[in-house]
Copies of this chain bind each other. A is one copy, B any other.
């Protein structure tokens, strides 16, 4: 049997080139641990003739990605070009059909097509692995699939997006507003030039859907989930939250309630001395709450070429060693569809910031709306802004149903004293 195993790479940006360098540098190490030497055969790029920072034989660069699929020697395709559809999708589907093992860091693609890809991989008796797709270098996929294999997991949650965590942490730390910090994040390479899918929660939503699937042994849900981003969070909210004993974090949360699935991504007020409140900057953290293990926590850098490559190579070694059985821990035949928990039946306590005209009778008019909706108030802080003839009211409510909050917000928005759509952030007890 040959000691070499051949790899094709699709995409050669930051991640692809870092992966290439690291594989070459660790050839001996990988050989000692797996018994095989991973040889990079081809790299498919848009412009093979473009000048590159990294020295690479011209013969390795190819323009037609289908050559990765049809090359007889290539055993593993590593997809690092991104996008839930387009060329990534085409090559991964074609590759699996042609009995190539596939490694990807592409959460959007897995969240969308993961069920079909798992089936295809199993039917063709090849591997489809994606440790790098969730939480960068943190070995969360392997930990749930293997390290915690015997557990009945009831909840999995965490900070799964480094960009938004960097922005919220730095807004709080330096008292800057959203757009200022976003600019800094872009300069430092912590936010992409188009950071929309990070900021609006789409990226976290893809990741939590993947985690749900392996944690609960279910098909990746096609549900439209509750998804709110951080764009609406103002730095005054971080200040008010702090004064009330909280921090604001964008969390992705998935849990089983009465045998139904509740997945959600939204900003949360979390107690400032809680574990998750103290995950700052670009860090990611995932908490797996299971039985018998209790709460297992994994934390580390959630993105960037280094951590991503660490996970890509972990998948590479697992495939070489023949470790992998099912992409999502058990066969696609055994992973069930599960009903969605009706979100409006969930209850939580919440934070509201309401901007108002500063007129007599305002407070009474506003609190009346709360009482009409049967929502009781735990804390209320009135912040005057005499100069602009305005005032803000900050409210923490007692626990209540989502459907009541929905109605409350509708009523508030219609109130004649209310100047803007109120800010509504859920309090999460973790």
Contact of A300 among B22, B138, B297, B306 (CB under 8 A): B297
Q: Are B33 and A314 in contact (CB under 8 A)?
A: no
Nearest Cβ in chain B — how far from A273, in angstroms? Answer: 8
Closest 10 CB pairs of A and B: A139-B147, A292-B306, A150-B313, A137-B293, A297-B299, A296-B300, A293-B310, A294-B301, A323-B323, A32-B330
A291 interface contact, C-beta 8 A:
yes
Contact of A275 among B22, B278, B294, B331 (CB under 8 A): B278
A329 interface contact, C-beta 8 A:
yes
Interface of A is mostly: mixed
A386 to B2, CA, bound (A): 81
Q: Are B310 and A150 in contact (CB under 8 A)?
A: yes
Nearest Cβ in chain B — how far from A331, in angstroms? Answer: 7
Nearest Cβ in chain B — how far from A420, in angstroms? Answer: 36
Contacts A296-B299, A306-B293; is A146 near B150 (CB within 8 Å)? no
- Return the CB mask of A281-316 against B: 1 if under 8 Å, else 0: 000000000111111111111000111011101100
Nearest Cβ in chain B — how far from A55, in angstroms? Answer: 19
A197 interface contact, C-beta 8 A:
no
Contacts of A133 in B (CB 8 A): none
A20 interface contact, C-beta 8 A:
no
Contacts of A307 in B (CB 8 A): 292-294
Complex interface residues of chain A between 122 and 162 (CB less than 8 A to chain B): 131, 137-139, 142-143, 146-151
Q: Which of A32, A275, A292 gathers the greatest number of chain B CB atoms within 10 Å?
A: A292
A101 to B413, CA, bound (A): 67
Chain B residue at minimum C-beta to C-beta distance from A333: B32
A76 interface contact, C-beta 8 A:
no
Contacts of A291 in B (CB 8 A): 306
Contacts of A323 in B (CB 8 A): 146, 321, 323
A147 to B316, CA, bound (A): 10
Q: Are A325 and B142 in contact (CB under 8 A)?
A: no
Q: Are B298 and A297 in contact (CB under 8 A)?
A: yes
Nearest Cβ in chain B — how far from A244, in angstroms? Answer: 20
A50 interface contact, C-beta 8 A:
no
A3 interface contact, C-beta 8 A:
no
A143 to B164, CA, bound (A): 26
Q: Give the copy number.
A: 2
Contacts A292-B310, A325-B33, A329-B33; is A317 near B142 (CB within 8 Å)? no
Q: Are B137 and A146 in contact (CB under 8 A)?
A: no
Complex interface residues of chain A between 27 and 83 (CB less than 8 A to chain B): 29-30, 32-35
Contacts of A147 in B (CB 8 A): 131, 138-139, 142-143, 311, 314
Chain B residue at minimum C-beta to C-beta distance from A292: B306
Q: Which of A131, A146, A306, A322 gathers the greatest number of chain B CB atoms within 10 Å?
A: A146
Q: Are A294 and B299 in contact (CB under 8 A)?
A: no
Q: Are B32 and A149 in contact (CB under 8 A)?
A: no
A275 to B313, CA, bound (A): 28
A194 to B322, CA, bound (A): 44
A147 to B217, CA, bound (A): 21
Nearest Cβ in chain B — how far from A389, in angstroms? Answer: 41
Contacts of A146 in B (CB 8 A): 139, 142, 314, 317-318, 323
A343 interface contact, C-beta 8 A:
no
A224 interface contact, C-beta 8 A:
no
A217 to B293, CA, bound (A): 28
27 A-B contact pairs sorted by A residue (CB < 8 Å): A30-B149, A32-B330, A32-B331, A33-B325, A33-B329, A137-B296, A139-B146, A139-B148, A142-B142, A142-B146, A143-B143, A143-B147, A143-B298, A146-B314, A148-B310, A275-B278, A292-B307, A293-B310, A294-B300, A295-B301, A296-B298, A296-B299, A296-B300, A297-B299, A298-B299, A299-B299, A321-B323
